[in-house]
A and B are shown apart, each in its own frame.
Chain A
Amino acid sequence: MIEKKIAGYNVLCNEQGYLTEPDQWNKEIGLELAAEEGINITDKHWEVLEYLRNQHKQEVAITIRKVGKSGIVDIKEFYQLFPDGPLKKASKIAGIPKPVSCI
């Protein structure tokens, strides 16, 4: 575990940059993490991030299929919002652990 300063906050993350304590997350951190991934956050991005954080809080295993059925985005949009590995990227920006699902 590494202690890192993101957007002025001290947070704990793993060596791949995923926050290990989702409660340490806030929107400013999300913005900076998104910028690191080259993503300009829109309202739609926030909606997806909130959804992922809620799912994580409820201890639901997150999959692309679930995101596609969330009613927030379809799978195509999800790939457009977070290009090149949407579930991983979105989880990282949302401050939740890296998804372990293969689907």
Chain B
Amino acid sequence: MENAKNKPVKKMMLILSKATIENVYACFILANGARMEGIESEIFFTFFGLEAIQLKKLNNLHVATVGNPAMHLPTMLGGLPGMEAIATKMMKSEMEKLDIPPVEEFLEILSASGTKLWACKLAMDMFKIKEEDLINDLDGVLTVGGFYERAEGEGTHLLFI
């Protein structure tokens, strides 16, 4: 492990491609946790991940109750109207107990902590999303190439969520 000691993680480049709340939170907690350890972090929101930074959508993200075996809920029940909302409400109340902030506040915390927030240009074009649809704390819109450029340097790790 001597070698690992000499090569600490310096920067985490997270790619968020999903909008289910468990994925969004995994991404945010990893990004925030990095900053808390003195590690740089950046998030590239692409595909459905863009929902997490869309002003009209970010407060209405849901946990997936269908196709999620860890819910321990029969698939047919998971598909009933309102089931996602109930599961999401329960999860949110548990998170609040642990002092995990709601998505909007979490984004503000990330930005204040120095996490860079980038939107994927291609996904924006595809979903016809404009920059004014996105949060004010956004650091900009990037292409994949632009994102990789920012990953330059020793000790950078990329993570796809």
Contacts and interface: CB of A to CB of B under 8 A. Distances in A.
Interface of A: 61, 63-66, 68, 74-76, 79, 83-88, 101-103
Contacts of A85: 36-38
4 tightest A-B contacts by CB?
A84-B38, A85-B38, A75-B112, A76-B112
B90 interface: no
A68 B37 CA distance: 17
**For the complex, would chain B's binding face be called helix, strand, loop or mixed by DSSP majority?**
helix
B37 A74 contact: no
A64 B109 contact: yes
Interface of B: 29, 32-33, 35-38, 98-101, 105, 109, 112-114
Contacts of B38: 83-85
A75 B36 contact: no
A15 to B, nearest CB: 15
A88 B37 CA distance: 8
A74 B113 CA distance: 10
